[in-house]
Amino acid sequence: MAEVEKILTSRIGTKSSSDIDSAMQNGAYEALIKALTKMTPEQVLNEVKTANLKGRGGAGFPAGIKLSFLPKDKKSIKYLVCNADESEPGTFKDRLLIENDPHRILEGIIIAAYAVNATSGFIYIRGEMASGAKILEKAISQAYERHFLGKNIMGSGLDFDIYLVRGAGAYICGEETALMNSIEGKRGEPRTKPPFPANYGVYGKPSNVNNVETYANIPTIIEKGGSWYSKIGSQDTPGTRLFGLSGHIKKPGIYELKSNVTLRELIYDFGGGILGDKKLKAVIPGGSSVPVLKADEINVTMDIQGLKKVGSMPGSGGVIVLNETVCIVKALLNLITFYERESCGQCTPCREGTHFLRLLIENIEKGEGVEGDCEKILSICKNIMGRTICPLGDAAVMPVESFIKKFRDEFEFHIKEKRCLPETFKMTTIFSE
């Protein structure tokens, strides 16, 4: 087991880690002070770029480059948005940071604000995270008290406010443009792009949206330098990642690891192996939206390159482990039901497509499937993929396509035999409805 450098979770576990005093005893806001007093905004932005920090929300876009899309002038209104609407099934890493080290997130946002001359920031937190919202609220007010927020922060000339906005229970609001609509009090529906958020974001102003974990990396990058950071772990996703292990695993939880850790290490070394010492059947390696892997595909690193080899991606870092008792059809039904319900209903292919996908999969699961259903499902998938305004359509399709392609026999068995595979039983709830 490789020695793990704690970047994101270093303060978690210390006493009252969410409180500003205790956080500051453990180094909070030192990077901010360094940035404000010793660095120019350009230098800060360059460090983030050099670090090659990749977005941790799922798409893995380089955060420094994204930040630099914002207009460069000092006068215009610019918004930073922190996406804390963590709702992807199997993903619970941001919640850990929010509840235990909110100041790391705030510090990251404020440093980013300094780098791009942003005027205000919004933290959009998932509606269900009531306690997280309270903790963040308190943290924000503490940051104001210490003058890390507000007018002329630490005498640097930077004016920056953070507003906390709570969602109302829609997965789609984690999509950046739907999130912006929701902040504006509109229906949470993704916007067509272009215009892109960097030009036309919240309230029509240039905006930058990043994930909680992405922001949380920034203080360390400033503290230790971009090039130091870029050398940690895998080249394509430098730094550490928070992996959330769940499902049929002995030690579920959040693990901060370098991204070149292999999936096998993650499951067996860190996660302690499969629950009930059963056989591993399948793993969803990066949140419910990424293609599923079979048991023999786990000898890959958890970075972009590694997972690409087996047709999947790191996504949000939520690793869902399924053992041999799982009926794969039922598991997929569970997932597609989620996506059907969470489709905002704008685009025809997603709104109608996810509905018919669910109907077809439900039929198979109920023993009412007919020959050719799998083809039909794949054909619908083909016509949803890439045909929608936002990636929810793609997110719904990827598990469906991969489940069928990788477990085709089990689907055909269901269709022919009208029942589950003998070794599986009606799955107890892994994903809560």
Partner 1 sequence: MADTDSKGPNYPENVKTTTSPKETTEPLKGKNPGDIGATIRIQIDGIDVKVPLGTTILEAAKSAGIKIPVLCYHPKLKIAGNCRVCCVEVQGARTLQPACATPVAPNMVVWTSTPKVKQSIKTVVNLLLASHNCDCLVCDAAGACELQNLAYELGIDVRSRQFPISCNTLPEIDSSSPVLQYDSSKCIQCTRCIRACSEVQGKGIIAALHRSKNVMISAGIRNWSDSRCDGCGECVQACPTGALSQKVSPKVRVWEARKVRTSCSYCGVGCQLDMWVSENKLVKVEGADIVPNYGSTCVKGRYGHDFLNSSERLKTPMIRRNGVLQEATWEEAISEIAFKIKKIKGEHGNDAIAGLSSARVTNEENYLFQKTIRAAIGTNNVDHCARLCHASTVAGLAQAFGSGAMTNSIAELEHAKCILVTGSNTTETHPVIATVIRRAVREHGTKLIVVDPRRIDLVNNATLWLRQKNGTDVAWINGMMNVIISENLHNRTFIEQRTEGFEELRKIVEKFTPESVEEITHIPARDLIEAARIYAKAESSSIIYSMGITQHTTGTDNVLSIANLAMLTGQIGKPFSGVNPLRGQNNVQGACDVGALPNFYPGYQKVSDTLIKEKFEKAWGVKLSSKDGLTIIEMMNAIEEGKIKGLIVMGENPMVSDPNLKHVEKALRKTEFLVVIDIFMSETAALADVVLPAASFAEKEGTFTNTERRVILLREVLKAPGQAKPDWQIICDISSALGYEMKYHNAAEIMDEIASLTPIYGGIHHYRLQEKGIQWPCPNDDHPGTVYLHKDKFSRGLGKFHPVDFIPPDEIPNEEYPFILSTGRILFHYHTGTMSRKSVPLNEYVATGYAEIHPDDVKKLGLEDGGKVLISTKRGKIETIVKSTEKVAPGSVFVPFHFAEAPANMLTNDALDPIARIPEYKVAACKVEKPH
Cβ neighbors of 239 (< 8 A, separation 6 or more) are: 7, 51, 53, 217, 229, 232, 233, 258, 259
Question: Rounded to the nearest 5°, which phi and psi values hold at 52?
Answer: 55, 40
Instruction: Show the tokens assigned to 59.
Output: 């798409």
Question: Is position 343 an interface residue for partner 1 (rule: CB under 8 A)?
Answer: yes
The least distance separating partner 1 from the CB of residue 116, rounded to whole angstroms, comes to: 18
- The secondary element (H helix, E strand) that includes residue 208 is strand 207-211
Is the Cβ of residue 21 or residue 375 nearer to partner 1 in the bound state?
375
- The secondary element (H helix, E strand) that includes residue 330 is helix 328-342
Dist CA 243 CA 258 (whole Å): 10
Question: Is position 199 an interface residue for partner 1 (rule: CB under 8 A)?
Answer: yes
The least distance separating partner 1 from the CB of residue 61, rounded to whole angstroms, comes to: 15
Is the Cβ of residue 236 or residue 394 nearer to partner 1 in the bound state?
394
Question: Rounded to the nearest 5°, which phi and psi values hold at 389?
Answer: -65, -45
CA distances from 140 to 75, 85, 137, 376 (A): 25, 18, 5, 51
Question: Is position 387 an interface residue for partner 1 (rule: CB under 8 A)?
Answer: yes
Question: Is position 185 an interface residue for partner 1 (rule: CB under 8 A)?
Answer: no
The least distance separating partner 1 from the CB of residue 171, rounded to whole angstroms, comes to: 10
CA distances from 414 to 140, 366, 408, 421 (A): 53, 9, 10, 7
The interface region with partner 1, picked from 58-66, 73-81, 120-128, 187-195 by CB under 8 A, is 187-195
The interface region with partner 1, picked from 131-139, 350-358, 402-410, 425-433 by CB under 8 A, is 350-358
Question: Is position 378 an interface residue for partner 1 (rule: CB under 8 A)?
Answer: no
The least distance separating partner 1 from the CB of residue 387, rounded to whole angstroms, comes to: 5
Site string for partner 1, 227-266 (x = CB under 8 A): ----------------------------------------
Dist CA 188 CA 184 (whole Å): 9
> Of 212-231, which residues contact partner 1 (CB under 8 A)?
none
Q: Is 255 left (phi over 0), alpha (psi -120 to 50) or beta?
A: beta
Q: What is the DSSP letter of 391?
A: T
The least distance separating partner 1 from the CB of residue 217, rounded to whole angstroms, comes to: 28
Question: Is position 187 an interface residue for partner 1 (rule: CB under 8 A)?
Answer: yes
Site string for partner 1, 353-372 (x = CB under 8 A): xxxx--x-------------
Q: Is 60 left (phi over 0), alpha (psi -120 to 50) or beta?
A: left
> Of 388-407, which residues contact partner 1 (CB under 8 A)?
388-389
Dist CA 184 CA 144 (whole Å): 24
Asked whether the beta carbons of 236 and 305 are under 8 A apart, the reply is yes
Is the Cβ of residue 89 or residue 247 nearer to partner 1 in the bound state?
89
Question: Is position 342 an interface residue for partner 1 (rule: CB under 8 A)?
Answer: yes
Is the Cβ of residue 127 or residue 273 nearer to partner 1 in the bound state?
127
> Of 46-105, which residues contact partner 1 (CB under 8 A)?
none
Q: Which residues bind partner 1 (CB under 8 A)?
A: 170, 172, 187, 189, 192-196, 199-200, 340-349, 351-356, 359, 376, 379-380, 383, 385-389
